Structures are given as structure tokens and as C-alpha cells.
């Protein structure tokens, strides 16, 4: 994706940003594969669509 992004001109990049928001900023983030690929509690909460942690649930 980063290689494709680098090939686009500013007009196409703006159109992408308009449709997908800040997603394009993820292309510039350096990832430590040992640490950064492990989801956080907040990410699990978003994936499971639960507004707050519930202690008695399996994900906690």
C-alpha cells in the first residue's frame, strides 16, 4: 500500500483522505512486529463493540 500511495499525486491522495480519513497516516508508522501487533484492551473493546470493560466477560 505504501508503494501505491507514493505513486499517487496530491489530488488522488486528497480524494483518498476525503473518503477514508486519517487511514493514510498509518502508512508512515514504523511497526515493531514483536510488540505493536498485539491488540490493546481498547482495541479489543472496539472490535467487540463494548462500551466499557466487563470483568466477568471472557475478553477481560
Query: What's the pLDDT tens digit per position in 49-60?
Result: 766 665 565 555
Question: What SS3 state is found at 43?
Answer: helix
Which of 12, 28, 8 lies closest to 20, judged by CA? 12
Contacts of 12 (CB under 8 A, 6+ apart): none
Angle at 47 between CA 45 and CA 51, to 5 degrees: 35
Tens of pLDDT, residues 1-43: 888 999 999 999 999 988 888 888 877 777 777 676 777 777 7
Amino acid at each position: 500500500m505504501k508503494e501505491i500511495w507514493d505513486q499517487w499525486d496530491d489530488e488522488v491522495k486528497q480524494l483518498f483522505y476525503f473518503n477514508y480519513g486519517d487511514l493514510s497516516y498509518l502508512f508512515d508508522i514504523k511497526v515493531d512486529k514483536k510488540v505493536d501487533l498485539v491488540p490493546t484492551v481498547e482495541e479489543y473493546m472496539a472490535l467487540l463493540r463494548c462500551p466499557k470493560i466487563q470483568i466477568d466477560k471472557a475478553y477481560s
